[in-house]
Amino acid sequence: MVPTIKKRQCSPEKEFDPLSNRSKQICVPLDQDNYQQVVKDAGQFRAELDPLIKEFPELFPVGIEQGYTLHDILPSSKKMPEIRLRRIKIEASRETFTLRPAFVLPYMGGYTEAVEMPLLLRRWAVPYWVLVIIFGRDEDYWYRLENRLGRYSLVGTTVQTPAKLPQDLLADEKHTTFNGQKAYIATTVGQDCVLGASVVLGADAASLTEAYTHFKTEAQNLAPDYSPATVNTDGWLSTHLAWQSLFSSITVILCFLHAFINIRARCQRFKAQYQTLKTKVWQAYHAVDRATFLQQIDELKSWATQHLPAGSAGLETVFKLCAKAPQFALASDHPAAYRTSNMIDRHMRPMSRYLEAGQGYHGHLLSAEYSIRAWALLHNFWPYCPRAKVAEQFISPAHKLNGRIYHNNWLHNLFISASMGGYRQ
């Protein structure tokens, strides 16, 4: 008898609404010994909580400064009977929130220290079955632990206050696969942090608009009037249309590096002319103002016409760069804007290694969405290599962006930053 093989159902639908993942759990930086001493005493607990509310108001619900009451103590959890959690009620809104110390995982899934090293190993895409061999549990436990992080607000968790929201962004699409078909990860980067990552099955303007909308939703949850000044992209028209439809006042800055890479690919065979051509291209890039830039682009075009073979692909590529000079010149009005894609490329390289190790995505599209968002969030909080120069000042990219941390342990810092799911309003 031939066994019946059940066909796997993998939904390509993605009904993802970031705001639906708002949490009513507040994560606070309290160490375990101190917490156990004060949690059952209302006076001592309030004495620990009040300074935190004053120092880190962004971790708490809006209106808590008008007063709150200690509502009750929750019963012991079957998973962690030794830990009791308290709830508070906000007087202004009459809403009730649960307070969770950072040393306890969400859903009372264990202690933070117990999963710090496994989640750090995921930086190098160590498979879940290897984590099982080293740390125990089972593959589903480690998968769910990581995947659930994708429910947090990428922007709200990474960026602590509205003042730290970057005005200049970079955007690009990373190509990958979903159940064997082509897929794209619409990625947004600002201030050296990944602030948006969404999986879509099409690269048209409508699909990319939907993907980049998640960044806008989360950013405007943090600052309702937020509108970035610029975004650096490659030459893909659908990317431009998506950002212009999301933010009507935004200036799209073309990546100058992409234009040069095209020239390099087609002109290196002209060995006698290439070095001079390269010098002239980058001299134009470093022009001090718009007028000088446009002048040097005209000189580049004249030189290329005289020295490169007529009708060659290399000459046509130079002409394409020169034709886009007015678009490149827009950067002159925004001195802080990113003129090349170097910063987003630095983040998409480890993303590529992560995706290649997992051989793309398999399963439901919504699971893939949470997975890449979880990777992006971990990427922002994973510690720098101790030998890196930047590690002398900062622990992680999120620390570099905000200029401060809540806890010296990177995973504690992530969970505290994700208080209320990272949603501030």
Mean pLDDT (the chain, rounded): 93
Confidence of residue 7 (pLDDT cuts 50, 70, 90): low
Please state the φ and ψ torsions of residue 248, each to the nearest 5 degrees. Answer: -65, -25
- The pair of three-digit structure tokens given for residue 245, joined into one six-digit string: 């439809």
Query: How far apart, in whole angstroms, are the C-alpha atoms of residue 234 and residue 379?
Result: 23
Residue 424 is predicted with a pLDDT of 80
Domain ranges, ordered by start, for the chain:
23-108, 112-151, 154-254+341-402, 256-333
Is the domain covering 154-254+341-402 a CATH 3.40.640.10 domain? no
The position carrying tokens 């994700």 is 418
Share of the chain above pLDDT 90, in %: 88
Query: How far apart, in whole angstroms, are the C-alpha atoms of residue 256 and residue 275?
Result: 18
Picking from 350, 412, 349, the residue whose alpha carbon sits closest to that of residue 381 is 412
Residue 160 is predicted with a pLDDT of 95
pLDDT per residue as tens digits for the range 149-178: 999 999 999 999 999 999 999 999 999 999
CA R_g for the chain: 25
Q: How many CB atoms lie within 10 A of CB 4?
A: 6
pLDDT per residue as tens digits for the range 267-276: 988 888 999 9
**Contact yes or no for 149/378 (Cβ under 8 A):** yes
Contacts of residue 395, defined as CB under 8 A and 6 or more positions apart, other chains included, come to 383, 384, 405, 408, 410, 413
Residue 77 is predicted with a pLDDT of 87
pLDDT per residue as tens digits for the range 405-423: 999 999 999 999 999 999 9
Picking from 373, 376, 355, 13, the residue whose alpha carbon sits closest to that of residue 177 is 355
Report CA torsion sign: 255, 167, 192, 357.
negative
β-pairing, 86-90 with 193-200? unpaired
Single-letter amino acid code for the residue at 244 = Q
Residue 213 is predicted with a pLDDT of 96
Residue 20 is predicted with a pLDDT of 80
Is residue 226 scored above 70 in pLDDT? yes
With 0.85 as the threshold, say if the pTM is over it: yes
Helix, strand or coil, per DSSP, at residue 346: helix
pLDDT per residue as tens digits for the range 9-54: 688 888 878 878 789 999 999 999 999 999 999 999 999 999 999 9
Helices 271-285 and 290-307: angle between axes, nearest 10 degrees: 170
Residue 154 is predicted with a pLDDT of 97
Share of the chain above pLDDT 70, in %: 98
Residue 6 is predicted with a pLDDT of 55
Is residue 4 scored above 70 in pLDDT? no
